[in-house]
A and B are shown apart, each in its own frame.
Chain A
């Protein structure tokens, strides 16, 4: 097959736009594709219009896009993740609708359905879970360890830029050309040039490569931050549990992202330069791809779920008003999971023909991971035991997690048995399993963290009633959508089927489709909760900064925290230092002296690299070689030019710090403390009255 190609536009042509397909053959499939493209375009125009109308371009540029403040970068990550989450959920609903239509029915074409599950998986893993996890980490880690920022603030900004530009490629693929049909794993040789000469796999490759570089830099940044920037006295065994999970995640990133980069770049070499890494002919070997991909892919799920475990650990302790039970065992369990996650990748392809012995080894290794995970579940339950529990929104997410996640984990232990895996391999049973760990595990954790730390970030609490509604909708929606898939999976329904024939599947498919609508309404409820909370923000302000009577250092700062986080760097004397200080009534000390504070100066390098790398990816996808070459040069030049900047820090004078800090201490003195029973009432200004002894 020859591909039309021009020197200026590469292989980009009129036919690349979905509207061309709609004009040629108007049908339901094309209408869905065009509606998706229209949403992207209308959304972009709406954002641009609103920014212009409210004259927000200046503040956006000065306060956000060029900021190197870890808190703002974290918030931008989360906004990006939620936008992508909206697309991922919508795609899930469309897929469920397609499969619910009945045997042999449906409104989508096979190619379009394949694009949907490919983008859905790619988006949910790389552009929802990863940015959401590291958005929260960005916001929290320096606050939790008593630092002013991450180790490399500008690199942090670059990571964000690369992640966003890669995510934008998935948005662009809706409007120009099409995305890969090879699933989020993009196995060759199907995704090779011989079977898939179009642009789809190329969009996948470059989005993965660029976001992978961004994530690697993030991992390096957080590993170094936690190793090197802890406040005096913050020894490793005094770290908040959440920071332990982030350091494990960062280590996983440093070691696990390279296999993904290698695999994607080798696939690119096959497709662009006619190499033979994974082709069917001339010595190519696709098993190398499967190994490389899952050498990344399995640690990946742990690097997502460990931070969620960390969030739950903080939440269970706070909302039980107790120290976290079994801290040491949780640290050991977290580290064990991180290490063992590198020893199990082969269970993703038990059926690909290795010997029974190898399958058995990896099956046993997989089952072993259930042990540290079980330790964690028992530790969390023991933390709840005899605690003074408040059923606030984060706690409700946590309880839903405890019950549902155990089911998901147990179905994982079933799948770890190779003989059983042969039966359910590539069925919806697997889809049910990993959604069962990723929704209650990762997504609920992130949403719990979002509700828990929102007042810290913005200075007011989220609406409690709407929050509870989101918990109910997510939980019910999850159960309706994914638990039926276990059964159809056992009945033998293959995953990724755009059409099916066995009528006994139909009832399950209808339930799952209804469930997906509940999930969609859960997403809308999250947006409504945010909207209502912003509207009512004057009633829920918590300027003192500790609305939940929490335990770790980030709560000892104002809400929202100042750019420098801490007026003076705290001196840590024990685990849960802030909780202990509150018990001793020494929580808000008056500093003796203030010092000048150095903070990273705003820089545009992250934004510049975001734009350049975005154009670079687009040019590569469409074979616009001159543009790709130009962008490569510009990226290098921009980076080198940045290294010539010597004035990279601003000084906040001690007098200014004193003024701000004393004003806040004044608020602390003038606020009435509330006890735990009133933490959702308007009188909660963020000053807690610990009214019972901390039980251990």
Chain B
């Protein structure tokens, strides 16, 4: 059975007009999914390590002394909102809105991403003041191996937002850049997904069992 050509990635306006470009972006987007899958294994393993080391506090400070759920709540809201704004950039792409609209939503996302990072850093500093540094115990090593790894991904996403924003201004909405917008959005949603895992396992799980 021959399948009708479908819009595999609805954010892209390539489909009917540009079958070649649509096929190319399908290959590259599929490749990006595979990459995310591999990256997800990294995080999955770090979660597993964290769970095995939750008791390895070696007399140092534990989750109850260190975690500040108010700040985590704020970070969660910011990150979820940034997923919304990336989604709005995708909608702007889908409905052929001017590219300045995409760049604007990128800008909002960038601000949200950076404020998330600022809050996260201040959390880490507050933890360090209470003696919660990675050198203190296996538990803290696992914490600092996992949560900043996510932060690093957010930072990389921020750089990507800046670079892609510049490229959109320089080159306009080319086929290649449209497909990059789709991939960046995928990446950003992926970061959200990981964060949901982090609040559930690292913070709530840590407080429940640590």
A259–B45 CA distance with the chains assembled, in angstroms: 7
List which B134-151 residues lie within 8 A (CB) of chain A.
134-142, 144-145
Q: How far is the CA of A216 from the CA of B56 in the complex (A)?
A: 32
> B141 to A276, Cβ gap below 8 A?
yes
Q: A254-B41, A262-B45, A283-B141 are in contact. List 11 more A-B contacts (CB 8 A).
A: A152-B28, A152-B31, A228-B30, A254-B37, A257-B38, A258-B38, A262-B42, A273-B135, A277-B49, A282-B58, A288-B49
Q: List 7 A-B contacts (CB under 8 A).
A: A220-B34, A224-B34, A229-B27, A257-B38, A275-B135, A283-B141, A284-B141
* Residues in B whose Cβ lies below 8 Å from that of A295: 45
**Which residues on B sit within 8 Å (CB–CB) of A640?**
159, 163
Nearest residue (CB) in B for A220 is: B34
Q: Does B53 contact A (CB under 8 A)?
A: yes
Proximity string of chain B (90-120) to chain A, C-beta cutoff 8 Å, 1 when within and 0 when not: 0000000000000000000000000000000
- Complex interface: chain A residues within 8 A of B34 (CB): 220, 223-224, 254
Q: How far is the CB of A137 from chain B (nearest CB, A)?
A: 16
Chain A residue, CB-CB nearest to B40: A258
Q: Are B134 and A282 in contact (CB under 8 A)?
A: no
| Pair A216/B38 contact, Cβ less than 8 Å | yes
Counting contact residues on chain A (CB < 8 A from B), the size range is 35 or more
Q: Which of A221-246 contact B (CB under 8 A)?
A: 221, 223-224, 227-229
A269 at interface by CB-CB < 8 Å: yes
A274 at the interface (CB under 8 A from B): yes
* B123: interface (CB < 8 Å): no
Contact present for A276 and B42 (CB under 8 Å): no
Interface presence of B6 (CB below 8 A): no
Q: Are A277's CB and B31's CB within 8 A?
A: no
- Given the interface pairs A151-B31, A274-B135, the reply to whether A261 lies near B42 with Cβ below 8 Å is yes
Interface contacts (Cβ under 8 Å), in number, total 111
| Least distance between B165 CB and chain A CB atoms (Å) | 13
Closest residue on chain B to residue A223 by CB atoms: B34
Is there contact, CB below 8 Å, between A282 and B46?
no
Q: Is B57 an interface residue, CB under 8 A from the partner?
A: yes
Residue of A whose beta carbon sits closest to that of B39: A258
CA of A228 to CA of B199 in the docked complex: distance in angstroms? Answer: 36
**Chain B CB within 8 A of A24 CB:** no
Residue from A228, A281, A282 having most chain B Cβ neighbours under 10 A: A282
Indicate if the CB atoms of B134 and A220 lie closer than 8 Å.
Answer: no
Cβ of B71 under 8 Å from chain A? no
Q: Are B52 and A277 in contact (CB under 8 A)?
A: no
Interface centre among B27, B31, B145, B167 (most CB of A within 10 A): B31
* Number of B interface residues in the complex (CB < 8 A): 39
A632 within 8 A of B: no
The 4 closest A-B pairs by CB, nearest first: A283-B138, A283-B56, A258-B41, A275-B141
**In the complex, A229 Cα to B31 Cα: how many Å?**
12
- Chain A interface mostly: helix
Does A696 sit within 8 A of B, measured CB to CB?
Answer: no
Chain A residues closer than 8 Å to B134, beta-carbon distance: 269, 273-276
- Kindly report which residue of chain A lies nearest to residue B45, judged by CB atoms: A262
B162: min CB distance to chain A, Å = 9
What's the minimum C-beta distance from A131 to chain B, rounded to whole angstroms?
20
B138 nearest CB neighbor, chain A only:
A283
Taking the nearest CB of chain A, how far is it from the CB of B92, in angstroms?
Answer: 21
Q: Establish whether residues B57 and A285, one from each chain, have CB atoms under 8 Å apart when the complex forms.
A: no
Q: Is the CB of A284 within 8 A of B38?
A: no
Residue of A whose beta carbon sits closest to that of B136: A282
Is the C-beta of B176 less than 8 angstroms from some C-beta in chain A?
yes
A292 proximal to B (CB < 8 A):
yes
Assembly CA distance A651 to B14 (angstroms): 22
B73 within 8 A of A: no
A228 to B28, CA, bound (A): 10
Residue of B nearest to A227 (CB): B30
**Contact of A531 with B by CB under 8 A:** no
Report A-chain residues with C-beta under 8 Å of the C-beta of B142: 277
Residue of chain B at shortest CB distance from A217: B35
Smallest CB gap from A292: residue in B: B45
| Choice from B41, B60, B144, B167 contacting A643 with Cβ under 8 Å | B167
The answer to whether A282 touches B38 (Cβ under 8 A) is no
Give min CB distance, A345 to chain B, whole Å. Answer: 13
Q: Do A221 and B31 form a contact, CB below 8 Å, given A282-B138, A283-B56?
A: yes
* A254-B38 contact, Cβ under 8 Å, with A229-B27, A283-B56, A284-B56: yes
Known: A284-B56, A284-B138, A285-B52. A277 touches B145 (CB 8 A): yes
Are A283 and B58 in contact (CB-based, < 8 A)? Answer: yes
Q: How far is the CA of A26 from the CA of B199 in the complex (A)?
A: 60
**Smallest CB–CB gap between A193 and chain B, Å?**
12
A644 on interface, CB distance cutoff 8 Å: yes
- In the complex, are the beta carbons of B141 and A220 less than 8 A apart? no
**A266 within 8 A of partner (CB):** yes
Contact B30 A282 (CB under 8 A): no
Residues of B within 8 A of A385 (CB): none
Is A422 interfacial (CB-CB < 8 Å)? no
The answer to whether A61 has its CB under 8 Å from any CB of chain B is: no
Q: Report the minimal beta-carbon distance from B131 to chain A, rounded to whole angstroms.
A: 13
Whole-angstrom distance between the alpha carbons of A221 and B142 in the complex?
A: 31
Set of chain B residues within 8 Å of A219, measured between Cβ atoms: 38
A646 CB-CB contact with B under 8 Å: yes
Q: Which residue of the partner chain, among A229, A261, A282, A644, contacts B167 with CB atoms under 8 Å?
A: A644
Q: Are A276 and B138 in contact, with the CB atoms below 8 A?
A: yes
CB distance from B75 to the nearest CB of A (A): 23
**CB pair A646 B171 closer than 8 Å:** yes
Docked-complex contact B31 and A283, CB < 8 angstroms: no
Contact indicator per residue, chain A 247-278, by CB within 8 Å of chain B (1) or not (0): 00000001101110110001001100111110
Given A255-B38, A640-B163, A276 contacting B137 (CB threshold 8 A): yes
Least Cβ–Cβ distance between B71 and chain A, in angstroms:
24
Q: Mark B151-177, 1 if CB is under 8 A from A, else 0.
A: 000000001000100010011001010
Whether the Cβ atoms of B139 and A283 lie closer than 8 Å is: yes
- Which residues on the A side are within 8 Å of B56 (C-beta)? 276, 282-285
Note all chain A residues with C-beta closer than 8 A to B138: 276-277, 279, 282-285
Of the listed residues B30, B141, B163, the one surrounded by the most CB atoms of chain A closer than 10 A to its CB is B141
Q: Which B residues from 19 to 49 make CB contacts under 8 A with A?
A: 26-28, 30-31, 34-35, 37-39, 41-42, 45-46, 49
Nearest CB on A from B22, distance (A): 12
Instruction: Provide the residues of chain A in CB contact with B57, threshold 8 Å.
Output: 283
Nearest CB on B from A222, distance (A): 10
Q: How far is the CB of B3 from chain A (nearest CB, A)?
A: 13
Mask for B47-79, Cβ within 8 A of A = 1, else 0?
A: 001001100111010000000000000000000
Q: In the complex, A241 Cα to B49 Cα: how many Å?
A: 38
Q: Are A277 and B141 in contact (CB under 8 A)?
A: yes
Kindly report which residue of chain A lies nearest to residue B43, judged by CB atoms.
A258
| Chain A residues whose CB sits within 8 angstroms of the CB of B42 once the complex forms | 258, 261-262
Chain A residues with CB below 8 A from B26, complex form: 228
* Cβ distance B23 to chain A, nearest Cβ, rounded Å: 8
- Given the complex of chains A and B, what is the CA–CA distance between A78 and B167 in angstroms? 37
Smallest CB-CB separation from B133: which chain A residue? A274
Instruction: Chain B residues near A257: list those with CB within 8 A.
Output: 38
CB distance from A528 to the nearest CB of B (A): 42
| Assembled-state Cα–Cα distance A644/B37 (Å) | 26
**A282→B136 CA distance, assembly (Å):** 7
- Give A63-89 as 1s and 0s: 1 = Cβ < 8 Å from B's Cβ atoms: 000000000000000000000000000
**Measured CA separation A266–B136 after assembly (Å):** 15
List residues of chain A with CB within 8 A of the CB of B141. Answer: 269-270, 275-277, 283-284
Residues of A within 8 A of B41 (CB): 254-255, 258-259
A646 to B180, CA, bound (A): 13
What A residues does B52 contact at CB under 8 A?
285, 288
Residue of B nearest to A256 (CB): B41
A164 to B209, CA, bound (A): 45
